[in-house]
Structures are given as structure tokens and as C-alpha cells.
Structure 1
Amino acid sequence: MTNRLRYLDNAEKIFVFDQVYTLTAASEQATRKKLSAFGMFAKLNLFNRPKDETVLLSKHELRYEPFWHAVAIRSADYSRELVYPVEIGNAFANRVLIDGKEYPVVEQGGKRLISLPGVEYSHRQIVFDEYVDGLARELKKGALAHYFKKQYKVQERTALELPEAVVPQLRLPTLLQQIHQKLAADVINAHEFQEDLITIEKVHLYYRPVFAFEFTWTTEDKVGVIEVDGLTGDVIENGQWFKEKLQAITTREMLFEVGSELAGVLVPGGSAAVKVIERVTADNGRSRT
């Protein structure tokens, strides 16, 4: 049996974190670390390394970087056939009659047993609940979840009016494909599935403020970027400069590309990886807070 996918209509939301650090504070943080903008090798090179007077600030920006919080649940009802070994306490019994059927008593591992065939009916839930970088980078484990533990202020938006917002490189269809692959990869030992349902409950897109400072090593004609987290003030020495910004007002519908594209991504090559794709409202589906 193939997985059936259910997608809650209210699963898609956009949030923007309120900036905590000011430009002045972030600039001070970056300036203290500017000699580290060109890599560890340059910093430790005794014969040719950057110095305060040769490293100058060339440009800076406050940008908003995307990340996802996705929650999905795979619910499986399934059955499997198996044989239960039942120990017989009577040392003289050689067969047992149960519901009109005889079962021979056999010696096995120092025990006297009969074997009863049966069918187990089970229900299992597998949860996907992860924070995923929208720029497809490998971040420190727990770094994104940390923002919620610290309870930084965040506002829900129906549209983005942030020209500084970076365009997600990990788009929703690809994220959904990753979720489906991870949940489907969890092996369930079954002879038959009565139901195998994946429910996409939450795909929230968050934007967090990040300051980026580009420094030029004037004597070597090299540039490096120092990033400062606009919420925590943490410094990243090997930073990046992202050119692709949203530029204009972007609606939620424009950011969440699902529709017919969803089926094409989750069913690669037209195979039956997902049998049915349903869209249901929160009233018809299970909700999660």
C-alpha cells in the first residue's frame, strides 16, 4: 500500500522576528572580528596576514533570512501475521485443544511449548517536527529552535513587505519531498496496511534578522563577510553575502508553491509514491498547537 498524503489548508503561515540588536551594536561586534573574515589560514599566516589598517569595511546590510518549521505525522494502521509461543506448565501434556483445534506440545530450549498462530492489528504514529534552514545550509544543531526557547518576539504576516528578505533556496515542494521521504523511510513490519496516511500539519516560514558586514583586505584584494545575528548577537566569521532578495511585496500564496506542483514533486516520474493528495480544512483534520 502506498502512502496517502493529507495537507491541512491552514498549515501555511509566515512569521517575521522583531529585531533585537541595533546596527551600532552589531557593527561593533563585526569590527572586533574583522580580521577573521578571510579564514583561519590568513589569520594565522605569520608572513602575510590581515591587519587593522589593511582591512576596511566596504558595505553592510540588515537582511532577513528564511527558515522553516515543519510538522507532519505519519499514521499507520496495519496488521501482521505471527506465531505466539505459549509455555505449557503440565509436564505430562502432549497436546492442547483450543477452540476445537489441537496443538502439539514440543520441547524447545528446555521449555514445553505450543505455537498459536495469530494476527496483530496495530496503530503507529511517526512524527516529523524539525526546523530547517531556508538557505539549505548545515546549521548548528538546535540553533533555530533556540529562538523559540528564548521567546523572541515574532509577528505573523499575510504578506512580506521586506525588500531585505532573502529568497528561500529551499522551496516548499522540495521541503515536502524531504518530509515524505523521511517519514516513508521508517520501516513498519507489516503484512497488510489498512491505512498509511501522512498529514502535513505545519509548514511555517520564519524570517530572522541578520546583519552582514563585508570587509576588504586592501593589500590582497580579498573580501570576507562577518555576520551578526540580529536576535542573539552571535557572530559568524565565515559569512556570506546573498544577492537574491524579494525586492517587492510578496504574498503568502507566492511563497508557498504547492497546488499542482506538489503532486509532481512528491510523485517523481509519475510513480505511485503517494497515492492520493488531499487538502482538508482544520475542522476536518487533526489540528496541532
Structure 2
Amino acid sequence: MDTTLTPDSSVYRILYFEEIYPSRAAEEQAEKSKLAAFGTLARLNPLNRPKAETVKLSKWELRYEPFWHLVARREIDYLHEAVYPVQITNPYARKVEIAGSSFEIVPNSGSKPRIDVQLQEFCHRKIDAVVHQDGLKRGIKPAKLQGYIDRYKATERAQLDMDGTIPPQLPFNAAVQIVKAKLAAEPIDAHSIQSDTVEFTTAHLYFRPVFAFEYNWNNKLGVIEIDGLTGEVIENGEWFREKVDIVMSREMMFELGAEVASAVVPGSGYAVKLLNKVTQEKPKANM
């Protein structure tokens, strides 16, 4: 499969959702659920379990968590060789000639006689793949991620510079591998392939708002997360310490190194147009 990646702003985009659920409501929801921040076993322990007066809020944040939305199309031109049986209705025929080629008639017990015609089929096939993948490698269902895209408006940004942005642990090249693996899983019955190309029509990196509230109980820490779009409560949450500390451009996020590209499908002649890497220090907040 040959793939060309170009810095087309209509295809490769960074988008942020603004929070719909207000911070005050998120804090109230977290307070109602804070006893669940330390797991079910702690809550069910009759001798030592968290209580409302012993669980204290230590800190909170609004962060932006990444997920990928990739749409690609694979187009293949290939040759398929096949044998077509053709029934002969004339009971007196002994041989058939087609375009200068002679075919012996094959007797067919219980049915009409036939000839076997060897053909070469020149085929063109299109295969589409849609991938929704959490950028932090969690098992979030694709339907949930598509629901964010369908229901809420996202604003495009040229770079990652929002405070609280969590960089994706799943880089673009790994997301591309997932798409290509999905496309390659479709069987192609070919004797030879003339061309095999992949075009990305959508390569979007989304960031969704999540409120995280860290609670302290008996020197133990627990986190309650509130979805900044839906208000959904996530118990046993996580506090992500790694945040974007430099401005990361769109070109940087969608760069795909040649050594990674060649490893996606070994020997496939995977062609990549590399993007320029642009990095600048993120302005420090005023103290």
C-alpha cells in the first residue's frame, strides 16, 4: 500500500471541545461521588471506610484529553484469473471457437455440456476504514467518541497551546498503523496487483474537556472525573501529571517518520511526504 500524507488543513486538524458542563456543577457532582474515589473495597470495609467528613478535596483541574478520528480509503487495481463454465445448448456441437481460440466441450452428466473459459478480470476495489481511538490508550468505545463529534461543536486550533492539554500517548504514526491494519484485513483475491493506495480523507485529533477532582483520605489519593461535555461521573479516575509544556504545531502532531512508515507494512513501498517540524516554547504563565 502506498500512502501520501500532505499537510492539507482540511484533512489534518486539531480540534478542541469547550466545556458545556460548568465547573460549579462538576464540583457538586464530584462531592456527591467522592466516597467512590478509593474503590469499592474501601467503601465496603465496615471498620475503616471513607466518610464524607474524612474525605477532603486536595486539588482540581480542567484538562483536555485526546482522541483520534481517522477516515481512510484504500483503492486497489488488480488482476484476477478465473475459469467460467459456459453451458452449450446445441446437443450436436463438439467444439466451440471464441475469438480465434478453440474450446473442447466437456460432457456434464445430468446437465448440459459445457466449455471452461479462462478469463483475466481487471478489477478495481475501494475499501473504507473509520477509526476512533482514545489517545491515552484506554478502551473507550468508538460510538462514545463519535457521539462527541456528532453532538458538540469543536473549535479548530493550529497548535496545542491550551492549558491542561494532555499529549496523546498514542502518536499519529501508531494511529495510522491501526487504520492500515484494518484496511489490510480485507482479503483481496488477486493474482497480481497493479496499484494499491491509501488516502486519508480525515485525520483529526480531538481534545475533550474533563474535570478532575483529587481527594485525600487517610493519606490515600483518589480521583473523581466529570465529563465536561455530558456531566458523566467517572469513579476511580486518574490524575495525569504530564501536560503539554511546549507549543506543538499541527505539522508536529501529524508528522510520520520514514522509519515508522516502512515498518507499517514491510516491503509495501509505503510512500510518505514528511512534514516540517515546528516547535517553540510555550509562554510561561505569570506568577
Distance 2:180 2:225 in 1: 33
Distance 1:205 1:120 in 2: 40
Q: Tell which deviates more after alignment, 101-110 or 244-253.
A: 101-110
The answer to whether the 8 A contact 1:96-1:105 is kept is no
Deviation per residue, 1:8-47 (Å, 9 max, x gap): 3313211111111111100111111112112223333344
In structure 2, what is the equivalent of residue 37 of structure 1? 37
Distance 1:161 1:102 in 2: 72
Residue aligned with 1:25, SS: helix
5+ unaligned residues in a row in structure 1: which ranges? 281-289
Aligned Cα root-mean-square deviation (Å): 2.3
The answer to whether the 8 A contact 1:266-1:273 is kept is no
Distance 1:162 1:109 in 2: 77
Residue aligned with 1:105, SS: coil
Q: Tell which deviates more after alignment, 137-146 or 5-14.
A: 5-14
Residue 235 of structure 1: which of 212, 233, 236 is its match? Answer: 233
Distance 1:143 1:156 in 2: 20
Check 1:250–1:269 CA distance in 2 against 1; reply closer, same or farther (3 A cut): closer
The answer to whether the 8 A contact 1:164-1:247 is kept is no
Distance 2:227 2:187 in 1: 39
Residue aligned with 1:276, SS: coil
**Letter in structure 2 aligned against 1:45:** N
Which has the higher relative contact order, 1 or 2, with Cα contacts under 8 A spaced 6 or more apart? Answer: 1
Distance 2:265 2:184 in 1: 17
**Letter in structure 1 aligned against 2:157:** R
Check 1:269–1:129 CA distance in 2 against 1; reply closer, same or farther (3 A cut): closer
1:274 aligns with 2:269: yes
- Provide TM-score, normalisation by structure 2: 0.86
Residue 5 of structure 2: which of 4, 7, 10 is its match? Answer: 7
Structure 1 runs of 4+ with >6 Å offset: none
- Provide TM-score, normalisation by structure 1: 0.86
Distance 2:200 2:130 in 1: 10
Report the alpha carbon displacement of residue 91 of structure 1 after superposing the two structures with TM. 4.4
Residue aligned with 1:24, SS: helix
The answer to whether the 8 A contact 1:180-1:266 is kept is no
Q: Percent identity?
A: 44
5+ unaligned residues in a row in structure 2: which ranges? 276-287
The answer to whether the 8 A contact 2:64-2:164 is kept is yes
